[in-house]
Amino acid sequence: MFLIQRVFQSCYLFLKIINGRGSYVDFEKIIDLTKPGIGKKTLIIFKTWCYKNKFSLKEAMLKTCRFPVDAMSRSSQQKLYGFIVNILKIKEKIKDLSLEEKLLYLSEKTKIKDIITEQALNDIIVVTRNPDVKSSDFFSSIALNTDTDIYSSRAEKVSLMTMHTAKGLEFPVVFIAGCEDGFIPMKKYGDEEPDIDEERRLFYVAMTRAREKLYFYICKKTQGLWKDDCKRGFSAYKRYRNKLNKT
């Protein structure tokens, strides 16, 4: 089951990036999976360049194919360029494929096949043959369910999970980290606007997981990439805490 979930998550990351909704964390995970020869130093230089220019990942990938990346050697940029071009080729190849065909193509072209047996891959393919299932919904549901699947209420330990995966669960004490303006709701670089209503619903879900105590955490001042202090205020959603107390 673990290997099957890992394959689903890998395919989901590829689909996020291909559809222009991927993050830099997703990009790093894909590099770690496919081993294209891009080192940590190259990734740091790439992300520093992107953050400095306020590029979304989608913009950064296109810019990297057209312009040199500051402070990056030619050989490193060639590897990065080749990796990005391969992703763009995959995007073009799978755009009209069925869910099963997308999975087969991704497993063949991205080394996913190397981490599972042929039988496990066949088992996954059988599941994908439902004609009513959309690829994006299918992969995302598997990826988001993983933390909940491995959660055990009997384990005496702290459980770290996203707001999505906390749905349906309850805890005596809940800590919500990152309750800062710009994080909740998440403000993204580029043209993509956050879904305010969905972000609000997720925040409410997170708050109502607590049975006894609920803590909000905020970092009032952080250090940015350029060693400058970055001051942040509390999330605009803090008013929902007051509404919760009145109910």
The verdict on residue 18 lying in a domain is yes
Residue with the bigger pLDDT between 169 and 132: it is 169
Q: Are residues 42 and 119 in the same domain?
A: yes
pLDDT tens-digit series, residues 134-169: 665 565 555 554 445 445 566 667 888 888 778 888
pTM: 0.57
Pick from 93, 112, 143: which residue ends a domain? 143
Identify whether residues 131 and 182 lie together within a single domain.
no
45 with 123, same domain: the answer is yes
Mark whether 239 and 206 lie in a shared domain: yes
* Shared domain check, 160 and 186: yes
Give pLDDT tens digits for 23-77: 898 899 889 878 889 999 999 999 999 999 999 999 999 999 999 999 999 999 9
In a domain, 148, yes or no: no
Residues 170 and 90 in one domain: no
Note down the domain range covering 61.
2-143
Q: In total, how many domains does the chain have?
A: 2
CATH number at residue 94: 1.10.486.10
Greatest Cα pair distance in the chain: 60
